[in-house]
């Protein structure tokens, strides 16, 4: 029975605003009939009061006649009329109802509910976290002053349709949003002639959708393609030039052949290294969401890398020293052994190439606790005593193709992708890369990996 009545109730509520305002009933007798029980109760009450106070009955009759006259002349409004009056009163105060506020509060994106004048009437938690405390009753222009945003708001307040605006907000870093102004009409839409002005909205929903990560990915993809094309085009152009020279003017010059072929080999190896690093980076990114679960021993990995790169270090006049706390014990973490070896090899090779002036590299590993969260980590440090890195370069070291010194990097056969690969591998392992450097005192790269539970 309840299920059958529900559609009827919803239909009545849906057509509430279409009901005519019939304040008067059919006539005085109908009003007396409608209020008969109230009048009977009043009559009994008057009779009892007169009887208890020994008053004359004509006074009670006079009061009763006055009640009857008032009942006949002033009609009682129906329930639907009273409900509609409450809705209209709420509209006049420009306040959203409870259901609208609950819906806005459930949205994960920053959201504001504005009235028809652009006054803030509700802000959800995400909006408060990003834009700070916005007081109900303040114009949204107090918080947002970009001309495009205000123009879109004016257009919607004037009766326009949905407006979308690109919005940038600066806190600790710049965030990019898509701001949507959506008009909300509580009354049923009626047909308007072309000459009529569009109806102004009762409320305006202002919703922000964060586009920062998407924009950054698009920018990084464009930069990556441009940089990769440039890095490949340079050695390729060199190869083509030498081949044309060998086929032409130096065709019969044995000394030119030997010199040019050595340069061509060097350029071909440069392209091979670059392609190898690109494939490695792409392979790591494809499984970035797959966290390794295999147990590996960091002590063995550190010793393996130190032994494997010792010949290269000796050629460059550098000594690799190891300092492992309790090197007889194991330091187990969840990880991919080959990838962690690649991380340490990249860091140690960089220390050998760019920190060889210090003539020593210290490779250490020890358990530590995070100073803020107290979580346990294994910290592997690769320290060189070379010229160091200026502080303005430190935040960008892990960007693809970023080099502190382009000439030195190419001289040392670097591709500009080594630290980017390190960063992506550590992200897959839930680890972190930290850099400390002082000009003239050397650089320390610290790899933090969480302990295996």
pLDDT in tens, 251-288: 888 888 888 888 888 888 888 888 887 787 777 777 77
As separate numbers, helices (DSSP H) first and strands (DSSP E) second, the chain gives 14, 12
Do 250 and 260 form a contact (C-beta atoms < 8 A)? yes
pLDDT digits (tens, 9 = 90+) for 120-144: 999 999 888 888 878 888 888 888 8
Per-residue confidence (pLDDT) for residue 190, from 0 to 100: 47
Q: How far is CA 201 from CA 81, 193, 208, in A?
A: 23, 18, 19
Q: Are strands 111-115 and 120-123 parallel, antiparallel or unpaired?
A: antiparallel
Please say if the pLDDT value at position 26 is more than 70. Answer: no
Are the C-beta atoms of 48 and 115 separated by less than 8 Å? no
Query: Is the domain of 408 the same as that of 276?
Result: no
Per-residue pLDDT reduced to its tens digit, 27-76: 667 666 777 777 777 777 777 777 767 666 676 777 777 777 766 666 55
Verify that 254 and 334 share a domain, yes or no. Answer: no
Q: Would you state the pLDDT for residue 216?
A: 75
Q: Do residues 320 and 428 both lie within one domain?
A: yes
Tokens of 40: 């009977």
Whether 380 contacts 365, CB under 8 Å: yes
Residues 316 and 399 in one domain: yes
pTM score: 0.51
Choice between 13 and 378, residue whose per-residue pLDDT is larger = 378
Asked whether residue 180 falls in the same domain as residue 112, the answer is: yes
pLDDT value of residue 74: 65
Q: Are residues 402 and 369 in the same domain?
A: yes
Give the pLDDT confidence score for residue 48 in this predicted structure: 72
- Of the listed ranges 47-61, 204-218, 395-409, the least confidently predicted one is 47-61
Q: What's residue 179's pLDDT?
A: 92
What pLDDT band is residue 81 in, cutting at 50, 70 and 90? low
| Angle CA 108–112–115, to nearest 5 | 150
Q: How confident is the model at residue 4 (pLDDT cuts 50, 70, 90)?
A: very low
Instruction: Give residue 302's domain range.
Output: 295-450
CATH of the domain at 259: 1.10.287.130
* Structural domains of the chain, count: 4
Is 409 found in the same domain as 373? yes
Structure tokens at 80: 């639907």
Domain edge (last residue) among 286, 313, 346: 286
Helices 212-247 and 254-286 pack at an angle, to 10 degrees, of 160
For the chain, the first-to-last Cα distance in angstroms comes to 58
Mean pLDDT computed over 211-240: 77
* Stretch (H or E) spanning 65: helix 57-73
Would you state the structure tokens that stand for residue 153, as one six-digit string? 């708001």
Show which of 90, 123, 154 is a domain's final residue.
90
Quote the pLDDT of residue 444: 92
Same domain for 281 and 389, yes or no, is no
With beta carbons less than 8 A apart as the criterion, state whether 140 and 120 touch: yes
CATH of the domain at 150: 3.30.450.20
Do 337 and 316 lie in a common domain? yes
- The b/e string for 331-368 (b: 16+ C-beta within 10 A; e otherwise) is bebbbbbebbbbbbbbbbbbbbbbbbebebbbbbbeee
Q: In angstroms, rounded to a whole number, what is the distance separating the alpha carbons of residues 298 and 125?
A: 44
Single out the residue in 90, 109, 143 at which a domain terminates.
90
Looking at the fold, whether 162 and 223 belong to one and the same domain comes out as no
pLDDT for the residue 145: 83
Kindly state whether residues 206 and 223 are assigned to the same domain.
no
CATH of the domain at 337: 3.30.565.10
What is the pLDDT, as a whole number, of residue 208? 92
Same domain, 300 and 424: yes
> What is the average per-residue pLDDT within 346-372?
84
């Amino acid at each position: 029975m309840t299920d059958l009545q529900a559609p009827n109730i919803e239909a009545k509520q849906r057509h509430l605003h279409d009901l005519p305002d019939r304040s008067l009933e059919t006539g005085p007798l109908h009003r007396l009939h409608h209020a008969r029980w109230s009048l009977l109760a009043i009559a009994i009450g008057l009779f009892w009061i007169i009887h208890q106070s020994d008053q004359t009955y004509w006074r009670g009759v006079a009061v009763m006649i006055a009640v009857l006259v008032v009942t006949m002349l002033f009609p009682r409004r129906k329930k639907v009329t009273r409900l509609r009056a409450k809705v209209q009163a709420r509209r006049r105060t420009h306040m959203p109802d409870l259901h609208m506020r609950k819906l806005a509060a459930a949205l994960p994106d920053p959201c504001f509910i504005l009235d028809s004048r652009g006054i803030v009437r509700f802000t959800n938690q995400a909006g408060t976290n990003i834009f700070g405390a916005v007081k109900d009753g303040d114009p949204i222009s107090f918080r947002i002053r970009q001309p495009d945003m205000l123009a879109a708001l004016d257009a919607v307040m004037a009766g326009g349709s949905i407006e979308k605006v690109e919005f940038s907000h600066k806190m600790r870093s710049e965030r990019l949003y898509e701001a949507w102004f959506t008009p909300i009409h509580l009354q049923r839409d009626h047909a308007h002639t072309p000459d009529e002005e569009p109806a102004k909205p009762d409320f305006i929903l202002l919703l922000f959708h964060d586009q920062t990560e998407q924009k950054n990915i698009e920018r990084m993809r464009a930069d990556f393609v441009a940089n990769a094309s440039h890095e490949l085009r340079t050695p390729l152009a060199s190869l083509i030039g030498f081949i044309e020279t060998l086929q032409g003017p130096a065709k019969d010059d044995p000394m030119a052949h030997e010199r040019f072929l050595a340069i061509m080999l060097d350029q071909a190896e440069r392209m091979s290294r670059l392609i190898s690093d690109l494939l490695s980076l792409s392979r790591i990114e494809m499984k970035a969401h797959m966290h390794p679960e295999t147990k590996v021993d960091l002590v063995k990995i550190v010793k393996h890398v130190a032994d494997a790169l010792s010949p290269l270090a000796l050629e460059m006049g550098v000594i690799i020293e190891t300092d492992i706390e309790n090197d007889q014990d194991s330091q187990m973490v969840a990880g991919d052994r080959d990838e962690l070896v690649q991380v340490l090899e990249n860091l140690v090779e960089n220390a050998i190439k760019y920190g060889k002036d210090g003539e020593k590299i210290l490779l250490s590993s020890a358990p530590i606790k995070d100073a803020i969260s107290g979580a346990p980590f294994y910290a592997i440090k690769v320290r060189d005593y070379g010229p160091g890195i200026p502080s303005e370069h430190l935040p960008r070291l892990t960007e693809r193709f970023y080099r502190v010194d382009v000439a030195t990097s190419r001289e040392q056969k670097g591709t500009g992708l080594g630290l980017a690969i390190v960063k992506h591998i550590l992200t897959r392992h839930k680890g972190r890369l930290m850099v400390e450097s002082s000009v003239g005192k050397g650089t320390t790269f610290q790899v933090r990996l969480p302990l295996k539970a």
